[in-house]
Structure 1
């Protein structure tokens, strides 16, 4: 590592990393959402429109998609009239899967998760960045919140923690929203030498100086799409990579909920939701169901104590909508 960038072990000089803050002219004001994607064509029509509206720029880095992901990204941005805010890049190397495969890969290899992430974010030209996934959809509130943060974090070093909730899709009209886990990962970061990616045990991690201002967004602003007819864990070496790790409570929860739903079981904390006729389940959850849910949004498995007023209101609403 040098003050200006990184060279990879394989000698692919075209994919050496130059830190963007060291380039002539530096970084411009604004924020960029960076999506590292592989076969996310069916999610991007919901992911990109609110994200394009909420940020100054969106960068999609494709890593070997075979489902037309880059074309869908381009078409979606054009359909909402925001193609000028989208740029795309290609990373042609196979990237190690999280877990044991990642742990065995040298950090400066082009196949390393941390090197891949550093290369992706080295393409950013703004002072702030969002580490976004190709299946994360902002709700109506989430879009406004991310947009409002643009002026608040521009000149102050801040990291943003974004809660997201798994939305397991059975069909275009039916899904299961998991509010049984409290989780808020760090997704928003300034661009600079204090905020680069390094290797951790199961995955990459972004370095963060101390002290730094931390802003936690409320629950209900973002859902993560999961398809019951797909392989939601292909980016992990194998289930043992997270099933035995105390560091990955979220992934263990996802594995448990996913397999329970495949067996026809709805676990505590999971809400079965059916969209009205003619409305897609993703639109219904992100634009109607979550924004209308009583606040504060009750997240986390219910305790043995009596339900809170918000929990009671949500249970009553679900019973009414299901006709019970």
Structure 2
């Protein structure tokens, strides 16, 4: 019986179950794309988030971080209903993770309480040659599903990194939502698996590194919406809204601006913010992702503002 390989990143707390052991050191990875969700209390989003992703990629990993709303159970239920239960892995990460901003900055990167270690441990569970970090509030449109399904096989051996623009959608009710097309939110999401593509600590959050000479693919607009709910606190994962630095966190500043305006009934005042009302009997999320966005004229974002965070 071969000995257990040592940890590549031992956690500061000395719990071997949550040390990071990189899978590429164990042999060649299986071709394909795995989506890694790190989730906390995302059960309300999963009916829109998970089905498209299970259709688009070869495997999905849900890392549940102290949810108390049945996130893990809901993920399993949806996958089983779709006949995709064997392509879903649900894992538990039972530690309080530092919030982005000041709290993250004060936490050692190899602590189980660090965003950096949490993300690296989650990434180390992947066994395919490509992986993508994804959020539990991000919904693929039908075009987005088709794009990822094609890319999941075409990327093999390319070494390319894929960036996807996303469009924040604040849900006011089942029939009304506000789509932010005032700025271009662009971020790399899909990466090869390997030692040059791991997470490191930055000031406010974790950052996944990649070589400067990596090929970069930028997906078209209209592939992804990021759900926000007007009746929920969407900023609990940040230490404080004062951490929304204008130079390093402009995306969060914009989200706070939109949330504040909508809470005060001033949504019409913000340039690039569109009020969308769904037809009777259709949920506004389905209307936006299946009808409104595919039919909207391009470019969707007409201002120069661009957030790469």
How far does residue 4 in structure 1 lie from its aligned partner after superposition? 5.8
Q: How does 1:178-257 map to 2 (within 5 A)?
A: 178-242=180-244, 244-257=245-258
Deviation at 1:302, TM superposition (A): 8.4
Indicate the residue corresponding to 1:57 in structure 2: 59
| TM-aligned CA deviation for residue 210 of structure 1 | 2.4
What is aligned with 1:21? 24
* Contact in 2 for aligned 1:180/1:270 (Cα 8 Å): yes
Structure 1 gap segments, 5+ residues each: 304-324
TM-score (norm 1): 0.90
Are 2:125 and 1:114 aligned? Answer: no
Shift in Å, 1:222: 0.3
Paired residues of 2:222 and 2:300 also in contact (CA < 8 A): no
2:98 corresponds to: 96
2:172 matched to which residue of 1?
A: 170
> Post-superposition shift, 1:297?
2.7
**Aligned match of 1:157:** 159
State the match for 1:275 in structure 2. 278
- Give the superposition deviation at 1:3: 9.1
Following TM superposition, by how much is the alpha carbon of 1:247 offset from its aligned partner in structure 2, in angstroms?
1.2
Aligned-partner Cα distance in 2 for 1:272–1:245: 26
Q: Which residue of 2 aligns with 1:126?
A: 128
Where has structure 1 moved over 6 Å in runs of 4 or more? none
What is the match of residue 72 of structure 2?
Answer: 70
Q: CA deviation at 1:152?
A: 2.0
Contact 1:268 1:301 in 2 (8 A): no
Contact 1:4 1:22 in 2 (8 A): no
Task: Deviation per CA, 1:267-289: give whole Å up to 9, x if none.
Answer: 11011011111111111100111
The number of equivalent residue pairs is 299
Contact 1:220 1:297 in 2 (8 A): no
Residues 12-47 of structure 1 show CA distances to partners (whole Å, capped at 9, x for unaligned) of: 111111101112x43111100000000000001100
SS in 1 for 2:299: coil
Residues in 1 aligned to 2:283 and 2:205: alpha-carbon distance in whole angstroms:
33
> 2:40 maps to which residue?
38
1:183 is paired with a residue whose SS is strand
> 2: distance between equivalents of 1:129 and 1:13?
23
Which secondary structure state, in structure 1, belongs to the residue aligned with residue 41 of structure 2? coil
